[in-house]
Amino acid sequence: MAASVILFLFGGITLLLSLQLSLGTLRMPGSGFFPLLLGLLLMGLAACQTFLLWRRAGAGTAESPTEGKAEGSARQVLIFMGIIALATAVLDLLGFPLVAFLLMLALLQLLGVRRWRDSALIAFLTAGASYILFVRWLQIPMPKGWLGL
């Protein structure tokens, strides 16, 4: 349950920080529009998970088979949030394409992709696709950083 509460708080922080960016409109979303939606989505999903866990505990249902993994899961959630926070902190400095690549690379390693070559390839393709989608196609202004992309 601690992981879902932490995720709810992380969603709230994401929502609050996104309000400092330009939200734009539905037709022309600004750089804060998608983080706002992400924060709302995280908060909603975490609230649902917390409610389900609370209801299960109140009904006296036996613990899930992943009970022993709860401590590791909470640790993974905290590391995940730390990676996201670090990526957010260096976004203006490094720029969207590089941060997207590094973020995806770190998250893939956290999730257990063992081969660095595979992680790097997936991260490169994901960063490239998100750059093409958001910056080129949707024309959402993203921080360029020192790469100038």
Condensed to tens digits (0 to 9), the pLDDT of residues 9-68 reads 888 998 898 898 888 887 888 888 888 888 898 888 888 888 888 888 777 654 555 555
Write the pLDDT tens digit of every residue in 85-131.
Answer: 898 888 888 989 999 999 999 988 888 877 888 889 999 999 999 99
Residues 140, 91 share a domain? yes
Token readout for 74 is 């909470």
Residue ending a domain, choose from 9, 39, 62: 62
3-class SS at 124? helix
Backbone angles phi, psi at 29, to 5 degrees: -65, 140
pTM of model > 0.75: no
Residues 51, 4 share a domain? yes
Which residues form the domain of 41? 1-62
- Say if residue 103 is exposed, middle or buried (CB neighbours under 10 Å; 0-12, 13-18, 19+): buried
Residues 87, 137 share a domain? yes
Task: Count structural domains, the chain.
Answer: 2
User: What pLDDT score was predicted for residue 71?
Assistant: 57
User: What pLDDT score was predicted for residue 10?
Assistant: 86
